């Protein structure tokens, strides 16, 4: 008899509406790891300096959790655990300075270490503090620091794990989370050929089972139960077609993002610049070819060796002076998600070395997002942006003027003319 768990995972991987394709393989997912790490480091810095404050709204923690919550369906509502509940006085890291510092020490320990034992020791230390309302939801922060060691966590994931394994893990307890983590690691090891070393993959599977997209396979050899389950699994394929519109909308968002990158690529070439396309976008289809065609295959050595080079490679589009290591302009296309990750990547570029004396840094976004972008830049996490003179470049202005700029423009003058100052 074939392995029903293997059959489930294979069907899940093929499902266009499941988290494997809509989130785990999502191009922007990988880009966000470094920016979220940077955000967590900012939270630690604020707590250590005594400037974190006593509210969630407007804090550096809200900024980083918000960027996690935008990671499509698996993290939807991730900020709920960190919102201040005044009647319950939880999570008790806003009004209690000692608890706040303990929370900061947990994050700092996990930022600095790469050893499983150290991560587990830091979790056990925070658990020993018994801070009201500060439970395993914090694992969603730790996952972005150590995706191969810490699984994602929410109610659906717990429900999915219980359904697949027959366990009875309860929400809100660190010891229960650690026990579930061991089970997840074992399950992942058994089916790693279909999953990944990155625990986000199995987290997505558990999420889809726990949110009732898939029924768990029977854990007995009952032939009748197996037949019912296989029929239910087949039904998911039919229902997946109904969800294809939502998936198509997400793919359309990616297509638009790629299209804007293509405009910037072609415009940069026309103006005489060498062009760099984000390393994980180079192979995307565009205009009958690949987005990275005719662009730099590697960044100049001075940039490759600069601090934050891994993040710099993920900036959507860079224009460099022909044959030199000087970046003239950096562009981050923010179609629908938070500007946080893009700004952090540009910070890495601008602050990494003097060779990056940028002439222009641009957030390229739909016309209707200007007010939202301006509002986000007032957050404390973006305090350095004013020094960088980041500008807002609306899609509409780029579309209307790109052809004339390509024909008659020189240098950055025309681009700066159609962009808008943000801060």
The pLDDT of 175-186, averaged and rounded, is 96
Spell out the alpha helix ranges (H) of 271-412: 301-304, 309-312, 340-352, 370-376, 385-388, 395-408
Res 1: pLDDT = 47
Chain centroid to CA 384: how far?
21
- C-beta contacts of 138-142 below 8 A and 24+ residues apart: 138/81, 138/103, 138/106, 139/177, 140/68, 140/75, 140/78, 141/36, 141/40, 141/64, 141/65, 141/68, 141/107, 142/110
Q: Is the pLDDT of residue 126 over 60?
A: yes
DSSP string, 69-126: HTSSGGGTTGGGGGS-BTTTTBSTTSS-HHHHHHHHHHHHHHHH---HHHHHHHHHHH
The proportion of the chain whose per-residue pLDDT surpasses 90, expressed as a percent, equals 54
Entry pTM: 0.77
Mean pLDDT over the full length of the chain: 87
| Three-state SS at 303 | helix
pLDDT in tens, 359-372: 788 999 988 888 88
Q: Is the pLDDT of residue 403 over 90?
A: yes
Provide the Cα torsion 316, 284, 300, 381; round to 10°: 20
Res 352: pLDDT = 66
The pLDDT of 6-28, averaged and rounded, is 90
Q: Is the pLDDT of residue 217 over 60?
A: yes
Spell out the alpha helix ranges (H) of 271-289: none
Topology of the domain comprising 249-421: Restriction Endonuclease (3.40.91)
Q: Are strands 420-421 and 390-394 parallel, antiparallel or unpaired?
A: antiparallel
Res 380: pLDDT = 67
The proportion of the chain whose per-residue pLDDT surpasses 70, expressed as a percent, equals 87
> How many whole angstroms separate alpha carbon 234 and alpha carbon 214?
10
Cβ atoms of residues 71 and 24 within 8 Å: no
What residues have CB less than 8 Å from 340, skipping those under 6 apart? 35, 39, 63, 64, 66, 67, 376, 381
Give residue 239's pLDDT band: very low, low, confident or very high (50, 70, 90). Answer: low
Delimit the domains of the chain by residue range: 19-212, 249-421
């Amino acid at each position: 008899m074939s392995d029903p768990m293997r059959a489930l995972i294979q069907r899940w991987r093929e499902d266009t509406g499941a988290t494997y394709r809509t989130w785990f393989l999502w191009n922007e997912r990988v880009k966000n790891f470094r920016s979220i790490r940077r955000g967590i480091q900012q939270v630690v810095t604020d707590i250590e300096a005594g400037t974190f404050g006593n509210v969630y709204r407007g804090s550096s923690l809200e900024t980083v959790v918000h960027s996690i919550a935008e990671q499509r369906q698996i993290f939807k509502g991730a900020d709920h655990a960190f919102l201040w509940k005044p009647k319950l006085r939880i999570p008790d890291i806003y009004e209690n300075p000692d608890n706040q510092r303990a929370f900061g020490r947990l994050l700092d320990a996990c930022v600095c270490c790469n050893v499983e034992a150290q991560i587990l020791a830091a979790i056990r230390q925070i658990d020993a503090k018994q801070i009201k309302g500060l439970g395993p939801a914090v694992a969603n922060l730790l996952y972005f620091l150590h995706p191969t060691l810490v699984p994602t966590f929410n109610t659906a994931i717990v429900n999915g794990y219980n359904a697949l394994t027959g366990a009875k893990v309860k929400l809100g307890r660190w010891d229960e989370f650690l026990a579930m983590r061991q089970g997840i690691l074992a399950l992942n090891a058994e089916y790693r050929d279909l999953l990944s070393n990155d625990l986000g993959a199995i987290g997505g599977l558990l999420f889809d089972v726990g949110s009732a997209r898939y029924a768990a396979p029977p854990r007995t050899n009952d032939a009748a139960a197996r037949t019912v389950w296989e029929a239910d699994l087949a039904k998911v394929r039919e229902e997946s077609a109904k969800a294809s519109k939502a998936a198509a909308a997400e793919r359309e968002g990616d297509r638009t993002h790629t299209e804007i990158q293509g405009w910037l690529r072609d415009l940069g070439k026309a103006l005489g610049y060498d062009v760099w396309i984000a390393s994980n976008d180079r192979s995307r289809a565009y205009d009958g070819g690949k987005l990275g065609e005719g662009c730099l295959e590697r960044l100049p050595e001075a940039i490759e060796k600069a601090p934050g080079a891994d993040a710099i490679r993920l900036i959507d589009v860079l224009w460099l002076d022909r044959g030199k290591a000087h970046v003239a302009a950096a562009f981050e296309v923010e179609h629908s998600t938070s500007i946080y990750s893009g700004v952090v990547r540009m910070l890495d570029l601008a602050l990494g070395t003097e060779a990056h004396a940028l002439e222009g840094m641009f957030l390229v976004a739909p016309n209707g997002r200007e007010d939202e972008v301006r509002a986000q830049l007032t957050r404390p996490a973006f305090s350095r942006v004013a020094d960088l003179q980041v500008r807002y470049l609306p899609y509409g202005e780029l579309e209307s003027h790109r052809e004339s700029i390509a024909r008659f423009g020189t240098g950055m003058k025309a681009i700066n003319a159609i962009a808008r100052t943000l801060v």
